[in-house]
Structure 1
Amino acid sequence: MELVWLEDFNALAQSGNFSRAAELRHVTQPAFSRRIRALETWVGVDLFERTTQGATLTEAGRHMIGSAQEMTRRLYQMRQEAREVAGKQARSLHFAATHSLSFTFFPGWVRAAERTSPIEAIRLHSDNMRVCEQMLLGGEVQFLLCHQHPEVPPQFPAESFHSKVVGSDVLMALQGQQVHAIGGDTPLSLLGYTAESGLGRIVSARLRKEPQPPNVHTVFTSHLAAVLLSMALEGKGIAWLPRTLAEPEISSGKLIRALDEHWDIPVEIRLFRPTMALSDFAEDFWARL
């Protein structure tokens, strides 16, 4: 048994697709498939049903997934605590945060948290939502900071994690000054998010819920809100952007509303953590929030 097999198992269970899971794990698909098969050989049963649409857990796989996720989290926590006890590493808080919050919200929020008690060391991993979720599931980080909408749950089992609201934001449909809404049947050019983006999930859910969604045509996609902001400033289309990210451009008039307030999407900024006990240092930080 190798830890990497469990990490691969968790990644494939989450994504349901061999190529996406291999990309998450930074290996080629053939190598990833061999490691999944090696795990199944070690267990002695098939853990996934393979179809042309992807991979789904078998009954045995569903029975195993919760224990596999908790085991990887505990192993990473054990290693971290052993290093701290040995004095090889400062007592650190490990965060995963989506890109937009890493740049805008996280620095000020951490400074405010330190006013009640100093934090010895912080390690921040900034990436798209899918990677951040995988890091939390795998135990590589203690906390996940992300935008959250009540109707769009994260892609991990809610019963295995706690969360707290630590801020608020709003996604606004914005465009550059030089772009003007086009009437009639001509669609608006949409600067959209990729499937890896948590903000993309929220925007997609909002548009699906609307009985008369705006007439848009996707012309560009990225998992980075900052990239979509830059494209909007260049007049390439409209984008749903977090106000925390776009506030300077809104205040200066460089970005203006493309759609009225009806299309605003209020969101929470939430911090997630596993239900299992963390280090004393991390538990103290959580209690003080």
Structure 2
Amino acid sequence: MELVWLEDFNALAQSGNFSRAAELRHVTQPAFSRRIRALETWVGVDLFDRTTQGATLTDAGRHMLGSAQEMTRRLYQMRQEAREVAGKEARTLHFAATHSLSFTFFPGWVRAAERSSPIEAIRLHSDNMRVCEQMLLGGDVQFLLCHQHPDVPPQFAAQSFHSKVVGSDWLMPLQAQQIEHSSGTEPLSLLGYTAESGLGRIVSARLRQEASPPSLHTVFSSHLAAVLLSMALEGKGFAWLPKTLAEPEIASGKLVRALDEHWDIPVEIRLFRPTMALSAFAEEFWAKL
């Protein structure tokens, strides 16, 4: 039994796709598939049903998932605590944050948090939502900072994590000022988010709720809101952008509404952490939030 097999298992259970999971784990798909099969051989049962659409957990796999995630986190926590005892990681907070919040929200939020409790050291990992979730699940970080909507739960077991609302934001449909949409039934040019993006999940859920969603044609996709903002400024289409990210462009008039206020999406900014005990310093930081 190898720890890497459990990490692979968690990644595939989360993504439901061998190629995406292999990408997350930074290995080739054939090597990743061999490691999943090795785990199944060790357990003695199939953990995934494999189809052309992807991979879904079997009953045995679903039964094993919670324990596998908890075991992985505990092993990494054990390593972290040993390093803290040795003085190598003392009083360091480890965060994963989605790209847009890393650039806009995180610096000011951390400065405000330090007023009540000085922070000696921070390690911030910035990536898309899928990678950030995997880092929290794997125990690589203590905290995950992300946009969250009540209708779009994170892709990990809610009972294994606590969270606090630490801010708020809006996703606004924005475009360059000079764009003029054609009249009639022509679809609007959408600058969309890829599947790795948490903001993309939120926008997709909002559109599914509408009885008559706007006619949209996706002309460009990225998991980075900052890239979509740049494309919108170039007049390539419109995107649902976080207000915290696009505020300077909105204030200057470079970006204007592509759709009316009905299509604004209110979102929370949440900080997630495992239910299991963290380091004493991390627990002190959490308690004072």
Q: TM-score range by the shorter chain?
A: over 0.9
1:88-116, CA deviations, whole angstroms, 9 ceiling, x for partnerless residues? 23321111100000000000000000000
The equivalent residue for 2:15 is: 15
Q: Whole-Å Cα distance in 1 between the matches of residues 282 and 252 of structure 2?
A: 40
Aligned to 1:65: 65
Alignment partners' CA distance in 1, 2:209 and 2:89: 48
TM-score scaled by structure 1?
A: 0.98
Pairwise mapping of residues 95-106 of structure 1 onto structure 2 (< 5 A)? Answer: 95-106=95-106
Alignment match, 1:157: 157
How far is the alpha carbon of 1:170 from its aligned partner? Answer: 0.2
Deviation at 1:54, TM superposition (A): 1.3
Match of 1:31 in 2: 31
Cα shift at 1:43 = 1.5
Task: Give the distance between the partners of 1:213 and 1:19, measured in 2 at CA.
Answer: 31
Q: Alpha carbon RMSD of aligned pairs, Å?
A: 0.9
| 1:34-60 Cα shifts (integer Å, max 9, x gaps) | 111111112222211112221111222
AA aligned to 1:131 is V
CA offsets, 1:175-216, max 9 Å, x none?
Answer: 011112222111111000001100001111111111111121
Q: What is the DSSP-based 3-state SS (H/G/I as helix, E as strand, rest coil) of the residue aligned with 1:163?
A: strand
CA offsets per residue over residues 130-170 of structure 1, 9 Å max, x none?
11111111111111100001111111111111110000000
Match runs of 1:269-284 below 5 Å: 269-284=269-284
- Aligned equivalent of 1:185: 185
Query: Residue 287 of structure 2 aligns to which amino acid in structure 1?
Result: A
Unmatched 5+ residue regions in structure 1? none
Partner residue of 1:247?
247
Is the partner of 2:154 in helix, strand or coil? coil
Q: Within 5 A, what are the aligned runs for 1:197-236?
A: 197-236=197-236
List runs of 5+ in structure 2 lacking aligned partners: none
In the alignment of these two chains, the number of paired residues is 289
- Aligned to 2:147, the other structure's residue is in SS state strand
Q: Residues 99-178 of structure 1 correspond to what in structure 2 (within 5 A)? A: 99-178=99-178
Distance 1:59 1:212 in 2: 38
Q: Which residue pairs with 2:81 in the alignment?
A: 81
Separation in 2 of the partners of 1:74 and 1:131?
19
- What amino acid sits opposite 2:15 in the alignment? S
